[in-house]
Amino acid sequence: MAEVCGQVLLGSGLTVLSHPLMYIKVLIQVGHEPLPPTLGRNLFGRQVYQLPGLFAYAKHIIRIDGRAGLFKGLGPRLCAGTIGTVVHSKVCLTVQECKISEVAPNHCISQNTTREMIARSCATIVTHPFHVITLRCMVQFIGRETKYSGVFDSIITVYREEGILGFFAGLIPRLLGDVLSLWICNLLAHLINTYAIDDSMSHTGEIKNCSQAMTGFFASMLTYPFVLVSNIMAVNNCGLAGGLTPYASVYPTWVDCWKHLSREGNMSRGNSLFFRKLPAGKTYAVDQKRFF
């Protein structure tokens, strides 16, 4: 119990610190670009027009809502993190009771990953309603709405307007992304640690931890489109300006959203908060000219 409490406290602290980054990322994901492009240089030194990055976007939010405006949606996100940690821990303990005493080494990684997949999936399903409310609280910035003002009021609003299914908008792509990311990360790390790292090497433990972190980053990059589609579907056609045109079309299913973003070439929108290229399908006025 003490370990779970420690995880909750640590997770809550990291959530508070990272919340402004998530807030800005979500606004970019749904297509909100309130600032015009500026002339800058890409990684190769070539002059290109780029959309303002993290700090310029943060200053824009502060100018409108103050510093506290960077923490919209923090309440339901903290609820999701706390409940998710507890559920994940409980499910892990339950699944471990079914542990087979002796398994082949090549089956161990599969067994451990399956257990982690079950625990993460349960936590994701239980906390997804709070995730949906978090995203909608953030997206209200676009249309200056106050429809989602608190956790309990937001729960009532979602249930009254959309029923139970409203709490699980965007759940399927989120689950698929989590599962794929976990398997890609663990399998790649296993292959690297087994065939590329010699146990006789010095600092083997540190090297294996580094490989796990690298494969985790690689897996998150590969599965980012699932995160993007999930977040868009969570706010799509929910009555907020950020879930309607011109920021997003009304999509019947998440597959339609995926196809539309893929056709436009916007599957990586919001993935980077720096060196942001102009997204496809958007037009901006810069120095009395039009750039696409």
* Rounded Cα gap, residues 166 and 174, in angstroms: 15
**pLDDT tens column, 234-276:** 999 999 999 988 778 899 999 999 999 999 888 988 888 887 7
* Rounded Cα gap, residues 3 and 90, in angstroms: 12
- Domain ranges in the chain are 1-291
Q: What's the whole-number mean pLDDT along residues 78-91?
A: 94
* Rounded Cα gap, residues 108 and 198, in angstroms: 19
Closest CA to 226 of 183, 276, 178, 281: 178
Which pLDDT band holds residue 2 (cuts at 50, 70, 90)? confident
Q: Do 35 and 56 touch, CB atoms closer than 8 A? A: yes
> Which pLDDT value is given to residue 199?
65
Other beta carbons within 10 angstroms of residue 72's beta carbon come to: 21
φ, ψ at 285 (rounded to 5°): -100, 120
Domain at 1-291, CATH class: mainly alpha
**pLDDT tens column, 123-133:** 999 999 999 99
Which pLDDT band holds residue 106 (cuts at 50, 70, 90)? low
> Which pLDDT value is given to residue 232?
96
pLDDT at 203 over 70: no
pLDDT at 23 over 70: yes
Q: Both tokens of residue 88?
A: 């994940």
> Which pLDDT value is given to residue 28?
93
pLDDT at 187 over 50: yes
pTM of the predicted model over 0.85? yes
> Which pLDDT value is given to residue 124?
97
Which pLDDT band holds residue 150 (cuts at 50, 70, 90)? confident
* Rounded Cα gap, residues 153 and 219, in angstroms: 36
> Which pLDDT value is given to residue 177?
96
**pLDDT tens column, 207-242:** 777 878 889 899 999 999 999 999 999 999 999 999
**pLDDT tens column, 43-72:** 777 877 888 889 999 999 999 999 999 999
